Structure 1
């Protein structure tokens, strides 16, 4: 019955600051806004595909959350540079500061993590065209590609 995830919501402490981040920095198109009620909605993946709702709340009501944006494999090749050129620090799942995304062998998918202005953990993730190798656990992307006779 379930075909996908259509929308998710985050509480934020400053709607204007979050508006700048999600629309101007990440490039999400605005779907709806109501400053009087304290919310913004953004389209993800195109109009009517999926939505992200942001709700301005008191800081005590903002708990750190996590979600991932699906990106193409081609875009993932430039994701770290894209984010860092916008002043956004990136990290991998292990937070080991090796400067490259990691592959989750059980999926397999490659991802990079970053934070929004409220500290929510965000992720860009791309599914790889390979068979899963859960026995490998987490692998730097460059190593995964070498195992498959490719380079990033």
Structure 2
């Protein structure tokens, strides 16, 4: 994983994506909302899987493309939700998913713009784009928790 700037990374391959997931897991705030942006095939689900795996999720980590939401207990306590809003036609549809945020420690939301107004505000936006055989990754904090998270990454 090469750093282009402090918040702009080049993920050369799947191993670099997994390494970023592990780094994010090491510095996970008490509660966090991550919005994952990027075109189809940009690596949003791959990064989400790597982060969940680094947080101790075992077994199959399914893409929520068709189920819309997958829930995972975390080894560090609490629950992670992995949402894919690609198939949502209207943000109001989220009401029917029964999302209860009481025990949610981590929200990973793909295509968050489709759930605008019905999702919690992000602490961290992650933008992914294909760059040759790898991915370009931009990390943008949107809260004090998100900034502290990135500060922790910078200390690695």
TM-score of the alignment, normalized to the shorter chain, above 0.5: no
Answer 1 or 2: which has greater helix percent: 2
- Bigger Rg, structure 1 or 2: 1
> Which structure's relative contact order is higher, taking Cα pairs within 8 Å and 6+ residues apart?
2
